[in-house]
Amino acid sequence: MTVPFIQFIDVKKSFGSLHVLKGLNLSIYKGQIIAVIGKSGTGKSVLLKHIIGLVEQDSGQILINGESTQQLSVDARRSFHKELSYMFQDNALFDSMSIYDNVALPLVENVRFPKTHIKEKVITRIQQLGLIDTLEKFPAQLSGGMRKRVALARALVTDPKIVLFDEPTTGLDPVRKNKVHSMIKEYQEQFGFTAVIVTHDIPEIFNLAQRVAMLDDGIIKFEGSKKDILDSHSKILNAFIRGEDV
Amino acid sequence: MLKQLIEKFGGKILKMLESLGRIVLFFLIGIINIFILPFQFKKIIDHLWFIGSKSVFVIILTGLFTGMVLGLQGYHSLAKFGSEAALGSAVSFTLIRELGPVFTAIMVTARAGSAMAAEIGVMRISEQIDALKTMHINPVRFLFTPRIIASVISFPLLTALFDVVGIFGGYISGSIMLGINRYVYMDTVIKSIEISDINGGFYKAVSFAFIVTTICCYRGYYTHLSSGFGARGVSLSTTNAVVHSCIFIFIFDYIITFFLV
């Protein structure tokens, strides 16, 4: 049996009196796209922040290649985090920097590449996302959808091995949404990265993700493939997909 | 009742100690990163421009009027003892040892310190600091270290400018407006000031640079912990940054003066 790349075992997390994750179990496999769906405020972003290390669990374990993150050496944890990239729900772009500088930042600060090489990489990503006219602009001068694409360009510019997308298509028109989905799929096939996508794009996400997990009330209520979803008799899952409240 | 009181008081003490530990760590991480390559040259230049160059006008203006007021007040006070000729000495002494460093630090806090707290605070509440972490960029090194280097360079230079302009302000009041011989004024300035006075002002300026930058950047960086989220949180952090910086400027001014005299 394949060992999951990242595995959550009974992870609990509270913020004060608010219990967000109440014993979450989830397996993420290498080279796959997994979509996490669920109502707003159920802790989907918190789940992603556990993977990238912005938040630490109160109890339970997170395993990387079968080894607990708490037992990993500082170097091992650092090198794991270096393979990650995160696209924030609200983009988290640097509003005092130009679009070019925003996308180039992770390369400029971390990688000892020549300036021309960095420029080439950044321009390529920006071009792919149809943002070439915005290079000298600032985030506040762009529409919500454009800012989303800038955030996506920044997340992909380092060629990461694991990409965490927090609602990557919110605020985009259907054409752009499809373009972003195709791009994620295309890149994923090309580079083979592992992707975790928190999304509300149902049913489009079923064509993109190999596996889907539904988070509800702090736990994973359903986990499986597209076929498993269609065959499922889970009331909660079916109601959520149809947009009904249970 | 007594137990509740002790618990409440103890809780506050613990919170204060926690804050103190955090600010010390924040400061140390920032300082250690000065010596870690690559040197953040471009960022330092940007902050030098913002903290230093953009403060020049306000420093000239406040320095000039402070010197003029000192000249005016000093003249009338000294005239009672028939010692108007000592005006140059009184103005330069007061400015170089005391008012120059303190007023410069307060003006830079109001202009650049508040901006540092607000900018970093906004970065905190809009997850830009989290974004830096996800990009494996040390946020303290990225945000605080270049600012502290720029402040340590800017504060003494701005203080020197304040002193020179202030002495000139005293000259305008004392010599041009009130008729003290200009050669006497300049002569007393030159003869009364010693290198130890200038050094004292320099030590104060450098200390205030550390204090103001650390408090302002720290307040912005930990906006979410001390002042809460949202625009209100940032505005509270900015106000606290300015108030706390000013308080600590006066406290350290006394401490440094105590050791220097």
The CATH number linked to A36 is 3.40.50.300
DSSP character string of B214-245: HHHHHHHHTHHHHT-SHHHHHHHHHHHHHHHH
Condensed to tens digits (0 to 9), the pLDDT of residues B182-215 reads 899 999 999 888 999 999 999 999 999 999 999 9
Condensed to tens digits (0 to 9), the pLDDT of residues A97-118 reads 999 999 999 998 876 778 888 9
Q: Is the pLDDT of residue B228 over 80?
A: no
Q: Report ipTM for this prediction.
A: 0.85
Whether the CB-CB separation of B202 and B97 falls below 8 Å is answered with no
Check B126 against A90: CB less than 8 A apart. Answer: yes
- Whether residue A118 lies within 8 A of chain B, CB to CB, comes out as no
Q: Is the pLDDT of residue B71 over 90?
A: yes
Q: Is the pLDDT of residue A171 over 90?
A: no
Q: What Å distances lie between residue A68 and A19, A53, A54, CA to CA?
A: 23, 13, 16
Tokens at residue B24, please?
């010390």
Whether the CB-CB separation of A225 and A212 falls below 8 Å is answered with yes
Q: Is the pLDDT of residue B105 over 90?
A: yes
- B37 vs A164, which has greater pLDDT? A164
Condensed to tens digits (0 to 9), the pLDDT of residues A197-206 reads 998 888 788 8
Q: Percentage of chain B surpassing pLDDT 90? A: 79
A16 falls within a domain? yes
Condensed to tens digits (0 to 9), the pLDDT of residues B128-159 reads 999 999 998 999 999 999 999 999 999 999 99
Q: Percentage of chain B surpassing pLDDT 70? A: 100
Q: On the CB side of B4, how many CA atoms lie within 13 Å of its CA?
A: 1
A13 falls within a domain? yes
Option in B119, B127, B136 nearest A92 (CB)? B127
Instruction: For an interface test with B, give the residue of A52, A84, A88 to mutate (most B CBs within 10 A).
Output: A88
A150 falls within a domain? no
Option in B134, B137, B142 nearest A52 (CB)? B134
Instruction: For an interface test with A, give the residue of B33, B41, B135, B234 to mutate (most A CBs within 10 A).
Output: B135
Check B136 against A52: CB less than 8 A apart. Answer: no
Smallest CA-to-CA distance from A166 within A228, A239, A86, A107 is with A86
Given pLDDT bands bounded at 50, 70 and 90, which one contains residue B70?
very high
Q: How far is B110 from chain A (nearest CA, A)?
A: 21
Task: For residues B10 and B16, give the distance between their C-alpha atoms in angstroms, rounded to a whole number.
Answer: 10
- A65 vs B141, which has greater pLDDT? B141
Whether the CB-CB separation of B51 and B154 falls below 8 Å is answered with yes
- Whether residue A81 lies within 8 A of chain B, CB to CB, comes out as yes
Given pLDDT bands bounded at 50, 70 and 90, which one contains residue A245?
low
Condensed to tens digits (0 to 9), the pLDDT of residues B170-182 reads 999 999 998 888 8
Calculate the CA dihedral of residues A216, A217, A222, A226 and round it to 10 degrees: 10
List of residues 6+ apart from B69 with CB closer than 8 A? B169, B173
State residue A185's pLDDT score. 85
Q: How far is B230 from chain A (nearest CA, A)?
A: 14
Cis preceding-peptide flag for A203 (omega within 30 of 0): yes
Q: Domain coordinates of chain B in residue numbers?
A: 42-260
Check A110 against B137: CB less than 8 A apart. Answer: yes
Check A92 against B126: CB less than 8 A apart. Answer: yes
Q: Is the pLDDT of residue A38 over 90?
A: no
A237 falls within a domain? yes
Check A86 against B119: CB less than 8 A apart. Answer: no
Given pLDDT bands bounded at 50, 70 and 90, which one contains residue A74?
confident
In this prediction, residues A51-61 reach a mean pLDDT of 91
Domain count for chain A, please give it.
1
Given pLDDT bands bounded at 50, 70 and 90, which one contains residue A1?
low
Q: What does pTM read for this prediction?
A: 0.87
- Whether residue A183 lies within 8 A of chain B, CB to CB, comes out as no
- Whole-number average pLDDT of chain B: 93
- Whether residue A15 lies within 8 A of chain B, CB to CB, comes out as no
Smallest CA-to-CA distance from B113 within B256, B14, B259, B240 is with B240
Compute the residue count for chain A: 246
Instruction: For an interface test with B, give the residue of A48, A84, A86 to mutate (most B CBs within 10 A).
Output: A86
State residue A10's pLDDT score. 93
Task: For residues A89 and A155, give the distance between their C-alpha atoms in angstroms, rounded to a whole number.
Answer: 12
Where helices occur in chain A by DSSP H, the ranges are 44-52, 74-82, 99-110, 115-128, 144-156, 174-191, 204-208, 226-231, 235-242
Q: Is the pLDDT of residue B168 over 90?
A: yes
State residue A196's pLDDT score. 94
Condensed to tens digits (0 to 9), the pLDDT of residues A116-153 reads 889 999 999 888 888 888 889 999 999 887 888 899 89
